[in-house]
Amino acid sequence: MSNKPIGIFDSGVGGTSIWKEVHQLLPNENTIYLSDSSNAPYGPKGKEKITALSIKNTELLLKKGCKLIIVACNTATTNSIDYLRENYNVPFIGIEPAIKPAALNTTTNAVGILATKGTLSSALFSHTSGRFASHIKIVEQEGEGIVELIESGKLYSNEMESLLSTYLKPMVKANIDYLVLGCTHYPYLIPILEELLPDHVKIIDSGEAVARQTKVILEQNGLKNTKIFIPRTEFYTNGSVKVMQSLLGEKFKIDLLDF
Ligand code: DGL
């Protein structure tokens, strides 16, 4: 049993979509969330820089006493989780695009994937898609500009709508029946994506799976907080408190922190 917090970090506000799933499945757990918005987007930065930023976030969470760390960012996971696991002595949970369930269930044999440049170009992503999806057509699309719009509070904007319609066009043309969201910012786009996509296209993301995996790893390591109490939730951003508040709701206090 441990009442130490679970640490969660992302390049920005997107990982709050993961925090929500974790908080729902593990309501007793204390959590600390870091939004590294001043360094967003991570996507175009390259493996070395992304790893350096992941180390910085990890060390801050460890300093705050976290018992397990969720890398709530596909880009940071696919580029740096091996390094983190080798170098720090806490369990790490990562997130990767859910290409496997899409490849197993497609009936049109075409699946779309929207992710950052850093994720699509990573060795981990090509390994996973080679392993599970080599028999189907994968329409890959870099979500260039999406993270920036969300981070600047323009989730619902004409710019976002026109960017997404452009990105979805080749996928619709290829007759995809699954769209895999490969970035934790993207679940916030689901209402817009549903408007733009044909009805038969199903959208999948990995948020719930990350929460389930977190529960399993806590149990396996005897780290679950079994006491019933009101959990402590801490949110830190080095970017805009206002943007993060609009995604989380007014109920939670968000602190500005220089990290
Ligand atoms: N939320 C991050 C992800 O899942 C966004 C990456 C970025 O900042 O480009 O990949």
Residues 90 and 215 in one domain: yes
Asked, for residue 34, whether it belongs to a domain, the answer is yes
Split into its structural domains, the chain has a count of 2
| Given 103, 171, 183, 204, the catalytic residue | 183
| Given 73, 95, 136, 244, the catalytic residue | 73
Nearest-CA neighbor of 174 among 108, 258, 122? 108
- At residue 229, the pLDDT reads 80
> What spacing in Å lies between the alpha carbon of 26 and ligand 1's midpoint?
24
> What spacing in Å lies between the alpha carbon of 69 and ligand 1's midpoint?
17
Q: Which of 172, 188, 204 is the last residue of a domain?
A: 204
Residues 216 and 230 in one domain: yes
Residues 192 and 234 in one domain: no
pLDDT digits (tens, 9 = 90+) for 36-76: 999 999 999 999 999 999 999 999 999 999 999 999 999 99
Residues 214 and 184 in one domain: no
Q: Is the pLDDT of residue 250 over 90?
A: yes
Is 183 labeled as catalytic in the residue annotation? yes
Q: Where are the beta strands (DSSP E) in the chain?
A: 6-10, 31-35, 68-71, 92-93, 110-115, 137-142, 178-182, 202-204, 233-237, 254-256
Asked, for residue 242, whether it belongs to a domain, the answer is yes
Ligand 1 close to Cβ of residue 187 (< 6 A): no
Residues 115 and 199 in one domain: yes
Residues 195 and 221 in one domain: no
Asked, for residue 19, whether it belongs to a domain, the answer is yes
Percent of residues, the chain, with pLDDT higher than 90: 97
> What spacing in Å lies between the alpha carbon of 11 and ligand 1's midpoint?
6
Asked, for residue 72, whether it belongs to a domain, the answer is yes
What mean pLDDT do residues 140-167 have?
98
Residues 56 and 122 in one domain: no
Of the pLDDT bands very low, low, confident and very high (cuts 50, 70, 90), residue 175 is very high
Asked, for residue 1, whether it belongs to a domain, the answer is no
Nearest-CA neighbor of 115 among 132, 102, 98? 98
Write out the residue range of the structural domain in which residue 87 sits: 6-95+207-256
Q: What six digits make up the tokens of 216? A: 């399993």
Residues 11 and 67 in one domain: yes
Q: Which of 204, 221, 243 is the last residue of a domain?
A: 204
pLDDT digits (tens, 9 = 90+) for 95-140: 999 999 999 999 999 999 999 999 999 999 999 999 998 999 999 9
Asked, for residue 191, whether it belongs to a domain, the answer is yes
Residues 198 and 228 in one domain: no
DSSP state of 184: T
Q: What is the CATH number of the domain that holds 121?
A: 3.40.50.1860
Cβ-proximal residues to 237 (8 Å cutoff; 6+ apart), any chain: 13, 34, 35, 37, 244, 254, 255, 256, 257
What average pLDDT does the structure give for the chain?
96
Residues 154 and 117 in one domain: yes
Ligand 1 close to Cβ of residue 197 (< 6 A): no
Ligand 1 close to Cβ of residue 37 (< 6 A): no
- At residue 1, the pLDDT reads 65
- At residue 127, the pLDDT reads 93
Q: Where do we find the tokens 């002595």?
A: 89
Residues 196 and 156 in one domain: yes
What mean pLDDT do residues 6-11 have?
98
